Structure 1
Amino acid sequence: MKSLTTRFLMTCAAIGAASGVLLVPVNHISAIFAPTMPILYAGLVGFWLLGPVLGLALLRRPGAGVLTTLIAGLVNVPLTPFGPSAVVTCLMVGVAIEFGFAVTLYRIWRPWLFSTTTVGFTAIYAAMAYVSFDMASTAVAVQALFFVLMVGSAGLATWAGLVLAQRVAKTGVTRGLVRPMGA
């Protein structure tokens, strides 16, 4: 498979390692906030999306999101309280983000598809977390804020990933590696 070159794999590994390092303190903070103050945890959710968005936006190739999240999860196994479940969580995010691009057969790389995919996934995740955290027992304003923070953090992370990908691409480091827009 042409897309699995050493350069592609190393680029995904670099993005995954960087996002994994970013997730280490976020995982520690979320371990405290998720069970005690889920409203604060909701604002952190976007951090898990940054790596796969960056990988997919920068490389525009199948598997970039999954590979970056796999590496990010592996970085977190020995460094966070979640151990091997960090890999499962990260892979869940990577697969979900790749899904929108797989549906289009990896032919559309527009910002609206990134936003639709990440916000759609986060809305589904927010609904599951709503039940898991028993948000129904909180005030209606807190419930609304929970969804706004979760979806808002996804939107912010998507925007940041796209901007970062654009800036990295301008340096030329991915020249010859990025899949052309129409391919």
Structure 2
Amino acid sequence: MEEDILSDGKGLEASRHDFLKLMLGGGIAVAAAGALSGEAQAAEEKKYLVVITHGEDDPNRAVLPWLLLDGLTAKKTYADDGMEVSVWLVLTGLHGADTKRNGKIYSEIYKNTVAELQKRVAARGAKMGACPACGNFFKVEEANLAPGITFQGGGWMWKESVGKQVAVF
């Protein structure tokens, strides 16, 4: 059986088998490095930042992160479970911050609205920010921001990400 040879065109050649071994080994090394980094520490310390990028454009993707945040703890607050949780809404995720819209964003799959879940997440003590530029673009007025949400720029998001596991939806 003849083996495929991969070449960079400059004299470096490897068999497909060697290439896959190298990629797998590199992937394991990257995973190990991640496990030893601050990400593993953040998971141990239960610190999370969730970035929400969907709203009316995709109700299922808009509701899912709020549903996961709501189910993150069975306790009354995140702090009661030793957690620190931050949420940043950006792009059409801003629809979830707008009290004129978030009650209309309903997922047939998850049987919830963003408004219902967002209230529970706020009550549990999540810090929540919304991109001000996106707010301007989508005409979300500060007076219509859902309880617990304030306009916060990218600098706030970067600050909140330090030492936390980050998930983008």
TM-score scaled by structure 1?
A: 0.32
Which protein has the bigger helix share? 1
Which protein has the bigger strand share? 2
Higher Rg of the two aligned structures: 2
TM-score scaled by structure 2?
A: 0.34
Higher relative contact order (CA 8 A, sep 6+): 1
